Every structure is written in C-alpha cells, then in structure tokens.
Structure 1
C-alpha cells in the first residue's frame, strides 16, 4: 500500500498594510487639541484658584505673625511682590481675608488684591485704589456685584484697622478699562453719573472685571473711610 506525503501549504502572501489617510491624522490632531483646551480651561478655572488661595492664606499668616511680634515688619516679601495689608469684606463671609500687594502686575493679582501705584495709602487723604480678579487666580472679587451701599471694606495693617463704607454698589458703575479717572486722587465721573461721595476726603475704590469671562469693561465701587482703630 503506497502512501503519499502531503506537501506543506505554500505561504500566503501577506496583506498590504493600509496607510492611514490624512483624515485620520486630522481627526487625531483635533481630539488632542480638544483635550489640551479642556485641560487649559480646567487649570484656569480650578487649578489657579487652588494655587492662589493657598498663596492668600500663606501670605495672610505671614503678615499676622510679623504684626504680632513687637519688632515685626510692616510688610512681607513674596515671590509676587510686597504685601503690607489684609482686606476683609464681611459681606463675603467671616473667613474672607485676602492680602493686599503693591502694584497691579499679573503675578501680583494672581497672589492677592493689588494696590494701584501712586494711589493713597490706607487711611490717608486721597483714593486708596484696589484691583482684584473676579474669576481664576483665587477670584477674590467674584461676588462683587452683590456688594451694596453700606457694606464694609476692612483694611488691616500692622498699626491700624481702617473701616471703609461703600457709597455705591458693586455693579452700579461699569466703565471701559481705559477709564483712568476711577483711580484718580479725587475721582470725577466725566459723564456726570455714578461717582464717590463728593464730600469724602479719604476714599477707597474697588475695581474688577465686569464679566466672569473675557471683557474689556470694569466694575467700580467707591467708598469712604468711616473709622480707624489701633491694632
């Protein structure tokens, strides 16, 4: 009986690999771009707040430690500038305490409330002009539209506590960012509308963005010094 051995099958020719077309790479690029944008938005809305609020707390603690020492300094140096006061706004809660730093540079406003260069010092004759973020970077003035005439702005320094009272609400005045008159020593509205108490000599001005997202307009609130207490 004869047997025949089966010959091995011939190897199959491999299928040619399909090249990915331009539409695949374009789609991938769009997905990655979308993820990057979502990551950036998330960082701006949440990450910067966490970082800035920790800076706020750390700087406030450093100031209070210095002021509690008999020979402590009146200010503290931070990586973002010099802090020399603390702003408290009771309408925003009993735990609201944000450091006030000199200047209004981007890094400064990311670390607290900024004090406009060349504006008056706390309690002095003139306009103590301040700026702060309404969204991101700690967003200390997010609820500024809720402020009402009569609300207090308390500025604490090493030597004294200055209590200012608002004469205008937080959303009573909206101006373009170019309206420099609001930080003048004696602000006078060129349109004859909302302005500070004309009889007040020691003023405070709060400025922040008019909208939660990008805007070239600013919300302005004016107040006057009501009392001074030794710290």
Structure 2
C-alpha cells in the first residue's frame, strides 16, 4: 500500500492569533499610509488653494479701497519704456528728488514710493493665463509661512516687480496648492502678469531650463544665468522674471526654471 504524504501540522490557537494580528497591523498601516497620501495630495491642495484665493480677493479689496476716485488727477508717472532692443529704460527721476539722490523708499516705477514688503507678507498677485493661474506673491520662500499656504514666494535679495534686475519667484509643484505644477507647459511668448498696489507689470516668457541643480543660484542672479548649464540664461542686464520649482514631479532633487522679460508697466 502506497504511503501518503504526512499531513501538515495543525496550527495552534497562538499561531492563528499571531497571523491574524499581523494581518490587522498590515491593514492598519496601509490605511494610515493611504490617509497620509490623501492628505498630502488632496487635502493640502484644497486648503492651500482656498486660502490663496481668499488672499487674492483680500489684496484686490485693499487696492480698490486705496485707489484714487475717478477723475482725480494723478501725479506724473515714471514708467519704463522698452527701447529698440526690447529692454525697458527707466525715465530719469526729477533733479533734486530723493530718487535722484539715491535715498528714500523704493520707487515703484509709477511715481509713487513703496515700502518694502514685510517678511511673509502677501503683496502682489501673479497671473498666468495659459495655466489659468492667479496666485498671491509673498515676501520670502519659507515653506511653513509662504509656500505651504499655496502662495508663490519672492526670493529675498532679488528685484521687486518692474525693477531692473531679476524678480525671482518659487512655488510648489506638488501639494500645498501646487501653483507651479504646470509651468513646464509655458512657451515662449506666453504672458505673465504681476499686479501690485501701484501698478501692473506684464512679462513675456522668453527662455526655460528643464532641469538644473537645486543649488544653481545663478538662475536667480540679477542677470540670470545657470552655473550648471552655462548656455542657459542671459548675458546682459535687463528686467527679468524667474519662476522656479522642483522637478521631476513629487521630488525635490532638481529645479525647473522659466524666465521672462518685462514688456509693459501700467500704473493703477
């Protein structure tokens, strides 16, 4: 008579309980991870976008309340006018003025003086029609105080809107409102508009850099030029805007850069 295979040993109550407990832990961990992913990819976006939208509305209300009544005479404006090469040139300040002497507050290019924005203060609105984006710009690039609120952050030490040099901005590409998620879709000739209390500045997208080091500070220099890809950027002073974000998506290993040049300034 053929001898069959021995029957597997029966699992005791303790072994079955250990297997069951292990399965429960695995399911619980899976649910926790799923909730964390949903929080990062959905809830933070929802909260940040809503908050950023409210901030844009608040700035517009503030600017509207401070705008001069219609029909009231405006002071003469100092507006950069593009020269033949397309680079704006600033109208000279009146002799004897604080601007001509190099003192006083920062000129906005509209004949009005403006105080520097406070740290983490939202003070401008960036609009990108191609992306359907309208987002507040705040001073500084702090994650907890600026970027994680769905705002775009202004790099300290770079130029302010409409000023000679480089108005450099950073924004999240994923989570927390992800305002710069699709800036890789921008093409040469697309418009970028920056609104402030005193003026509206229109920039035109000119160049981009698909990938560079996260430490490539050259891209936000007054004359922006990559230190990693020397052929990317500019070689002459001008009126620039720079958008930076992380790449590839869902990582922070590299940076994606888009550059534009100032084309028009409209006083409010």
Interval containing the TM-score (normalised by the shorter chain):
0.7 to 0.9
Count of aligned residue pairs for this structure pair = 207
Contact 1:173–1:194 (Cα < 8 Å) also in 2: no
User: Deviation per CA, 1:36-65, whole angstroms, max 9, x where unpaired?
Assistant: 000000111110111001111110011011
Show the counterpart of 1:57: 53
Find runs of 4+ consecutive structure 1 residues off by over 4 angstroms.
Answer: none
Shift of 1:200: 4.8
Q: What's 2:233 paired with?
A: 195
- Asked if 1:89 corresponds to 2:128, the answer is yes
Deviation at 1:110, TM superposition (A): 1.6
User: Which structure 2 segments of 5+ residues have no match?
Assistant: 1-11, 69-113
- Per-residue deviation, 1:173: 3.2
Report the TM-score, using the length of structure 1 for normalisation.
0.83
Please say which structure displays the higher CA radius of gyration. Answer: 1
Question: How far apart in 2 are the matches of 1:106 and 1:189?
Answer: 24
State the match for 1:165 in structure 2.
204
Shift in alpha-carbon separation, 1:55–1:164, aligned structure 2, 3 A: same
Q: Does 1:222 align with 2:259?
A: yes
* Corresponding residue number in structure 1 for 2:26: 30
Name the SS for the 1:167 alignment partner.
strand
Shift of 1:70: 2.4
Question: Would you say the 8 A contact 1:200–1:224 is kept in 2?
Answer: no
Q: CA RMSD in A?
A: 2.3
Contact 1:128 1:204 in 2 (8 A): yes
SS at 1:66's partner residue?
helix
CA distance in 1, matches of 2:25, 2:259: 49
How far apart, in 2, do the equivalents of 1:209 and 1:229 lie?
Answer: 32
> Which of 175, 180, 184 is residue 221 of structure 2 equivalent to?
184
Contact 2:168/2:243 (CA < 8 Å) preserved in 1?
A: yes
Render the CA deviation track for 1:99-144: whole Å, top value 9, x for unaligned.
Answer: 0011111121122101111111111111110011111111111111
CA spacing shift, 1:217–1:177, aligned 2, 3 Å:
same
Distance 2:39 2:124 in 1: 28
Question: How many Å apart are 1:92 and its aligned residue?
Answer: 1.1
Distance 1:143 1:28 in 2: 40
**Gaps (5+ residues) in structure 1?**
1-16
